[in-house]
Amino acid sequence: MNYFAGEYDVIVIGAGHAGIEAALSSSRLGCKTAIFTINMDAVGNCPCNPSIGGTAKGHLVREIDALGGEMGKAADACLLQMRMLNRGKGPAVHSLRAQIDRREYSKYMKHTIELQENLDLRQAEIIAINKDEEGIWNVETRMYALFKSKAVIIATGTYLGGKVFIGDVSYESGPDGIFPAKYLPASLKELGLKLRRFKTGTPARVLKSSIDFSELEVQSGDEPVIPFSYDTLEPLKNKVDCHISWTNEKTKEIILANIHRSPLYGGKIEGVGPRYCPSLEDKIVRFADKERHQLFIEPCGMDTEEMYLQGMSSSLPEDVQIAFYHTIKGLENALVMRSAYAIEYDCVDPLQMNSTLEFIDFEGLYGAGQFNGSSGYEEAAAQGLVAGINAALKILGKKPLILDRASSYIGTLVDDLVTKGVTDPYRMMTSRSEYRLILRQDNADERLTPIGREIGLIKDERWERYCKKQELKEQEYKRIKSTVMSPTKELNQILIDNNTSELVSGIRLSELLKRPQVSYEILKSVDLSRPDIDANIFEQIEIEIKYEGYIKKQYAQIEQMRRLEKKKLPEGTDYKNVTGLRLEAIEKLNKVRPENLGQASRISGVSPADISVLIIWLSKIGG
């Protein structure tokens, strides 16, 4: 029945945020790549909030960009509003968050893919994948087309076995009413993958003109706009405002009176929902004593009147939704254009993968995004990039890209997924990184651009710009270490005004900047030899100087972690045969199948004594 339709190096299933980065990176590295989507108009769709970034997610976007990915550039190009979150809470937790024009974003991504050399965008539902005797992957579409490829990357998001719930109503569907990937789950099970059900949800979209903004708090963007991408050189402008409102007693009453009609509480949804992204009914039941909950009203784009209600996702019946939205100030007469819904989908246990996001038992098969048990556009894109790069590197016969926890949030994300596993959709948080004073959004380029360059995703022009910046930074360091600030009246006045002690004798500028109260900014008028260079350089230097003690300590820990990381554990080890291990450790090690001692040491249930046993066992077998 099938007809042979073509051959690729890499086939990517799904053109969401994960699939896009996977396909772009593999094709940019020279691999002939195809990316399949069920609907060509849903490439790079944002079926939930019209925004990119946020705490820790903003770090991920920066890192994707520093490695040569696309997400940051697209977000900058489709920007509606940019904010730097957590100013004042410390540089480790500064994060960029952008409101974006979701249709523009989708168009930008689709067009970028279409223009990309080595990359074909195709609309088709993939219904089966399997491996032939020669080790080549066969990928079948619903139209009987058979494609062959060396690697397959599954990035199916919420489409895989997708099922939507709104109150009593439920139907098989992908997001935004697009049909789901209905047949692929059976094929994946047949292949031997263990699938599980997760769920997520999204709030309603309402008509802008039906909202009364007059009494709502306005939230504007930050000026000047700091872009995500190191390639965005032209200044960006904020175009829209967001608004804030609150739920109240009445909202709570309506929800509680109708809670039995929720498919979640009625037991119809079996999927595990994310802890951090509860529906409104979840919030009200779990945090019963909280009087009110905040919501943000965000525009979906410049040429649409749809407004997104952040914080108000729900799977209650439509009539209940309308009733409770109408209790909220500003939304009394809101017209609900799209209802809120919950969606349940198939995904895998990421413990089945290694740090390249390749399945341990299936060579050439990779997974990325929600399929791996994560949540969020940025988490998906980060994994897509890792999977795409590694699929390509393997085909090219190069050594894999493994980003460790100390290198990036991307590395932390992947390591968490493949060594700790997930029990609910995984969201990145700054508190997940033990090295967060080093993994800052301001130094993503320093941490990752040399790696991106080595892989081949950073082009010459960008690389030269980066090198120039590093050179200027070096010079600036020299300058502040050799510049002595005299205790002039003007300087001392500045110091007093900023609540720090005055100088009695001269002090090096680098020493002065160590004080928490002192910044480049306040010294502007007295630091006369200051060069006119990229503000990011000043920012980095100031942070590195102020947090030097903490940063050094973290580097010492990293050094220790990396020693263990270098000790590889042989593939296919049955830990039952390692004498001296405790039973619990044997079970966990056999399940997670860590690649090295560092990963093994992070598995819960594996003790330091077990690690010592492994070390000695390694030496015995000559590993």
Partner 1 sequence: MSNKTIAAISTAQGAGGIGIIRISGDNAIDIADKVFKSVSGKKISDIKGYTALYGSVYSDGNKIDECVALLFRNPHSYTGENVVELSCHGGLVVIKNVLRAVLNSGAVLAEAGEFTKRAFLNGKMGLTEAEAVMDIIGAKGNQSAKAAMACLEGKLRKRIDNIKESLINSAAHLSAWADYPEEDIPEVTNNALKLSIQKGIDELENLLSQYDKGKVIKEGIDTVIAGKANVGKSTLMNLLSGCERSIVTNIPGTTRDIVEETIILNDIAINLSDTAGIRTTDDLVESIGVGKAKSRIMNSSLVLAVFDGSRELDSDDIEILSILDKNNTIAIINKSDLECILDTDKIKNYVNHIIFISAKDGSGIEKLEKEIISIMGTDNINSSEGMIANERQRFSAQEALNYLKESLESLEYGMTLDAVTVSLEYAIQSLLELTGERVTEAVVSSVFSHFCVGK
Q: Tell me which residues touch partner 1 (CB under 8 A).
A: 48-49, 54-56, 85-86, 88-93, 275-278, 282-283, 286-287, 290, 293-294, 296, 310-311, 313, 420, 429-434, 436-437, 516-517, 546-547, 550, 552, 554-556, 559-560, 563, 567, 579-582, 602, 604, 607-613, 615-620, 622
Question: Is the Cβ of residue 67 or residue 277 nearer to partner 1 in the bound state?
Answer: 277
Long-range contacts of 318-324, Cβ-Cβ distance < 8 Å, separation of 24 or more: 318/166, 318/167, 319/167, 320/167, 320/254, 320/255, 320/258, 320/261, 321/166, 321/204, 323/254, 324/247, 324/251, 324/254, 324/255, 324/280
Shortest Cβ 56–partner 1 spacing (Å): 7
User: What is the closest distance, in whole angstroms, from the C-beta atom of residue 86 to partner 1 in the complex?
Assistant: 5
The C-alpha atoms of residue 450 and residue 469 are separated, in whole angstroms, by 13
Nearer Cβ to partner 1 (448/586): 586
Minimum distance, C-beta of residue 315 to partner 1, in the bound complex (Å): 14
C-alpha triplet 271, 275, 276: angle, nearest 5°: 130
What letter represents residue 608's amino acid? P
Instruction: Label residue 531 exposed, middle or buried (CB < 10 Å: 0-12, 13-18, 19+).
Output: exposed
Shortest separation between residue 464's beta carbon and partner 1, angstroms = 32
**Minimum CB distance to partner 1 smaller for 204 or for 455:** 204
SS3 label, residue 199: strand
CB 149 within 8 A of CB 7: yes
* Residue 499 beta carbon to partner 1: minimum distance, rounded to whole angstroms: 8
SS3 357: coil
- Residues 246 and 88 sit within 8 Å (Cβ to Cβ): no
Asked if residue 14 lies in contact with residue 156, where contact means CB atoms within 8 angstroms, the answer is yes
CA distance 510 to 477: 8
* Shortest spacing between CB 280 and partner 1, in angstroms: 8
- Cβ 616 to partner 1, closest distance in Å? 4
Angle at 64 between CA 63 and CA 66, to 5 degrees: 60
- Exposure of 517 in the CB half-sphere (CA atoms within 13 A): 10
Q: Which is nearer to partner 1, 381 or 458 (CB)?
A: 381
Nearer Cβ to partner 1 (48/67)? 48
Shortest distance in whole angstroms from residue 97 CB to partner 1 = 8
How big is the CA angle at 327 (ends 321 and 331), to the nearest 5 degrees?
85
For 593, other C-beta atoms within 10 Å of its C-beta total 22
Smallest gap from Cβ 190 to partner 1, in A, equals 34
Choose between 266 and 623: whose C-beta lies nearer to partner 1: 623
Q: Among residues 329 and 563, whose Cβ is nearest to partner 1? A: 563
Nearer to partner 1 by Cβ, of 95 and 449: the residue is 95
CB 349: neighbour CB atoms within 10 A? Answer: 17
Give the whole-angstrom CA distance, residue 129 versus residue 255.
Answer: 44
Nearest CB to partner 1, comparing residues 118 and 279: 279
CB of 84 to partner 1, least distance (A): 10
Using the minimum distance from each CB to partner 1, give the nearer residue, 170 or 375. 375
* Residue 533 Cα distances to 93, 470, 482, 529, 536, angstroms: 24, 11, 18, 12, 9
